[in-house]
Amino acid sequence: MASPTAAPSNPLEETDGDVTYIRTDPELPPVAVIDRSPITTRHKIIFGIIALLGAVAWAIIAFLRGETVNAVWFVIAAICTYIIGYRFYARLVEMNIVQPRDDEATPAEVFENDTDYMPTDRRVLFGHHFAAIAGAGPLVGPVLAMQMGYLPGAIWIIIGAVFAGCVQDYLVLWVSTRRRGRSLGQMVRDEIGAVGGASAIVAVFVIMVILLAVLALVVVNALAESPWGVFSIAMTIPIAIFMGLYLRFLRPGRVSEVTLIGVVLLLLAVVAGNWVAGTAWGQDWFGLSKVALSWCVVIYGFAASVLPVWFLLAPRDYLSTFMKVGTITLLALGILIARPVVQAPAVSAFAHSGTGPVFAGALFPFLFITIACGALSGFHSLISSGTTPKMLEKQSQMRLIGYGGMLTESFVGIMALVTAAILNQHLYFVLNAPEGKTGGAAESAAAYVNTLPLGGNPITAGQVKQAAAAVGETSIVSRTGGAPTLAIGMSDVLHRAFGGPALQAFWYHFAIMFEALFILTTVDAGTRVARFMLSDALGNLGGPLRKFRNPSWRPGAWACSLIVVALWGSVLLMGVTDPLGGINTLFPLFGIANQLLAAIALTLVSVVVVKKGYLKWLWIPGVPLLWDLTVTLTASWLKIFSADPALGYWSLHRQCQQALDAGKTRCSTAKNVDQVHDVIRNTFIQGTLSIVFAVLVVIVVVTGVIMALRVIRGGGIPLTEDEPVPSRLFAPSGLIPTANEREVQRQWDAQAKSPAKSVGTGAR
């Protein structure tokens, strides 16, 4: 399946029909297999059937009205589109831009040191890459976007992934692999220049802080006043420490063994949580308010950043990886077994009016901002540069890892969309409307959602209470942030597929624990990464600050951790105490930050494409870049300049300031003077952050465009690609090796001493 382009006059080339074998050493078997055979009739028929099935599924999702749509059609539409996208569009990108050369060694092979640079089996690397990019984003975004109905979300998650998200991940991986796995910020500096580079590095740091704050806010909203949830997630800390000690002192290296023990303990903790929540001391200790819980998360983030990694961070990462892969597989099976029916409308009344309670604004641009990670995620560019390229065996595997990894993430987004779409829509808004609107009680919440233009039967307070009791909670009103909604949808699917009604509460808390677990894994690892970014930046200022460059200098580590935690912690506390509901005001900022990071990554890729001379193919990264900039800068513009106080940070800021000056004690949903002050301060911070993001990204894009124009005129900074080194190892390109690749692999296995061995090559 691979189509690396061969050097034209290579004496070590051997062609057999449509297949070319390239050697870099006459003594060794080939290191690259280039298969140019045309598509077979059998494949044509298979892909034709897949395309047809996908088209039928899309038609059912999009045009079936007045009847119920089964959720399985979403899964079919998604998978068929992914297969066609991977086989044809990703191939187009591969043949015209990436042009992989398997006779050249990857950074992993050249710099192999068995710590960060190590050639890793493609299937294993796919798992690593997926575990690194997948998180709460694709789960939460589609749930919140359900406010607009299922159709716009489904279209953007699937089509956006194929043409924008996967392309970004794939091409950033390509650019970084040709530059020893350099990070995004470094590459922007090398290719676009010092100004763009510095802006990119600052933008990445600020965006990281917002990411951490909003993710922590999602966890806090899911766990506040829920002793069961807090107990089970708190237990993950002693369980992780036990695992760390076990690996350090009892049985080093037995990672999957200790992870299985950890997962069993975790399930016991979820079961025990029900019992703990029923006791008086359990209520006392674990029934924490949002503010108290925020402080716990802040302290936890700080501790994880300064404690040794083997003690807490590494074992939590093992648990999180296991739970991610395991639960997502379980959910996919659950949807196929339970085959639930969608209750949401295809397009809701809020899509046009923009007056929905979950987040403000109309479909364009705010749907795209809200879905973020499931379709296009700027944060992935931080993984695709830096970590993954240092483990890649062969350039032709980038399509599987970069493009294929993001397709899987998009599929996670589709499953999240399904779990939100199968909920009763009145219940959905009871969960997701901010407390200022629902009033916090079942009666007032039912009364409020019955005034919304939803259609269907109105909901009663009794039904709201019953829904809470079914999942073992006292209240589900205004559990904003997406995680509780997803958990209710998941418990609905999973109890129907596995275990019946008796297990519904268990599955709800299992789902909450699963989301909180990997959000906290992002929070702890992210705090650490941000700490390193900060100390690096301080160290580069020179003078007495040079000491910060040494990561083992404890005072520096503590000071930088404290600054990072203080930054995201204050945004988190601002969110939990916000009278408007933190998710409503902060989630758009998170989405904008993420999409602006994607704009930086796509700008870098576009500049490299221009420098390589592939002007004809500039549209491949260029169109997603233009779309992303249009969406994100429009959203930023509205957030900064809109005269509607529900939308614009500054107009609400002015409105509340004027109300206060006029001696009023109410403004928007703020009900007393303190709350009015909160709104004035919060909108100031949020408004300032929106301006900072937009300005930084505009600088990067403008410097990128200037650089591209200079290059087209024959000037500009030259490419900084590494000199190619001949490869001395072989590995298949796609997930399943072709017959020719199997034959070459047999030759390598027969070779008495292989010059290089990849992870797990022995077991093939």
Partner 1 sequence: MGRAGQIARQVRWYWGTLMGDTHYQRYVEYRRRVHPGEPVPTEREYWKIRHAATENHPGAGCC
Binding site for partner 1 (CB under 8 A): 112, 114-116, 118, 121, 123-124, 127-128, 131-137, 211, 215, 247-248, 252-257, 259, 308-310, 313-314, 317-318, 320-322, 372-373, 377, 379-380, 382-383, 386-387, 518, 521-522, 525-526, 528-529, 532, 551-552, 594, 755-757, 759-760, 763
Q: Residue 370 or residue 425: which is nearer to partner 1 going by CB?
A: 370
CB of 409 to partner 1, least distance (A): 9
CB of 377 to partner 1, least distance (A): 7
Asked if 660 and 677 count as a contact pair (C-beta separation under 8 A), the reply is yes
* Rounded Cα distance, 159 and 95, in Å: 21
Q: Residue 35 or residue 536: which is nearer to partner 1 going by CB?
A: 536
Q: From residue 45, give the alpha-carbon distance in Å to each of 36, 49, 275.
A: 19, 6, 57
CB of 486 to partner 1, least distance (A): 14
Of 624, 164, 135, 161, nearest in space to 411 by CA: 161
Q: Residue 112 or residue 191: which is nearer to partner 1 going by CB?
A: 112
* Rounded Cα distance, 535 and 540, in Å: 8
Residue 163, by phi and psi: left (phi above 0), alpha (psi -120 to 50) or beta?
A: alpha
Tell me the residue type at 708: A
Q: What are phi and psi of 726, to 5 degrees?
A: -65, 140
Cβ-proximal residues to 38 (8 Å cutoff; 6+ apart), any chain:
18
CB of 367 to partner 1, least distance (A): 18
* Rounded Cα distance, 3 and 171, in Å: 16
Q: Residue 451 or residue 552: which is nearer to partner 1 going by CB?
A: 552
CB of 255 to partner 1, least distance (A): 4
| SS3 of residue 189 by DSSP | helix
Cβ-proximal residues to 22 (8 Å cutoff; 6+ apart), any chain:
6, 7, 10, 12, 13, 14, 30, 31, 32, 33, 34, 102, 103
Which residue in this structure is represented by tokens 């107009």? Answer: 651
Asked if 520 and 223 count as a contact pair (C-beta separation under 8 A), the reply is no
Q: Residue 76 or residue 173: which is nearer to partner 1 going by CB?
A: 173
CB of 137 to partner 1, least distance (A): 3
Cβ-proximal residues to 659 (8 Å cutoff; 6+ apart), any chain:
666, 667, 676
CB of 585 to partner 1, least distance (A): 18
Q: Residue 300 or residue 507: which is nearer to partner 1 going by CB?
A: 300
Q: Residue 403 or residue 518: which is nearer to partner 1 going by CB?
A: 518
Q: Residue 137 or residue 273: which is nearer to partner 1 going by CB?
A: 137
Helix segments in 498-553, DSSP class H: 504-540
CB of 660 to partner 1, least distance (A): 36
DSSP label at residue 387: I
Q: Residue 173 or residue 454: which is nearer to partner 1 going by CB?
A: 173
CB of 641 to partner 1, least distance (A): 27
* Rounded Cα distance, 501 and 27, in Å: 65
DSSP label at residue 35: E
CB of 112 to partner 1, least distance (A): 7
**Buried b / exposed e along 3-35 (16+ C-beta atoms within 10 A):** bbebeeeeebbeeeeebbbbbbeeebbbbbbbb
CB of 302 to partner 1, least distance (A): 15
Q: Residue 232 or residue 527: which is nearer to partner 1 going by CB?
A: 527
Q: Residue 325 or residue 719: which is nearer to partner 1 going by CB?
A: 325
Asked if 200 and 385 count as a contact pair (C-beta separation under 8 A), the reply is no
Which residue in this structure is represented by tokens 């019992």? Answer: 275
Cβ-proximal residues to 714 (8 Å cutoff; 6+ apart), any chain:
none
CB of 525 to partner 1, least distance (A): 4
Q: Residue 162 or residue 525: which is nearer to partner 1 going by CB?
A: 525
CB of 262 to partner 1, least distance (A): 11
CB of 306 to partner 1, least distance (A): 11
Q: Residue 127 or residue 439: which is nearer to partner 1 going by CB?
A: 127
Q: Residue 478 or residue 632: which is nearer to partner 1 going by CB?
A: 632
* Rounded Cα distance, 619 and 631, in Å: 17
Q: Residue 205 or residue 366: which is nearer to partner 1 going by CB?
A: 205
CB of 199 to partner 1, least distance (A): 20
Q: Count Cα atoms within 13 angstroms, Cβ side, for 248.
A: 13
Q: From residue 733, give the alpha-carbon distance in Å to each of 35, 415, 421.
A: 11, 28, 38
Looking at beta carbons, which pairs linking 305-308 to residues 24 or more positions away fall under 8 Å? 305/524, 305/527, 305/528, 305/531, 305/557, 305/561, 305/564, 305/565, 306/557, 306/558, 306/561
CB of 250 to partner 1, least distance (A): 10
* Rounded Cα distance, 657 and 667, in Å: 9
Q: Residue 702 or residue 756: which is nearer to partner 1 going by CB?
A: 756
Q: Taking each helix axis as running N to C, give the angle between helix 554-576 and helix 290-306, from 0 to 180 degrees, rounded to the nearest 10.
A: 160
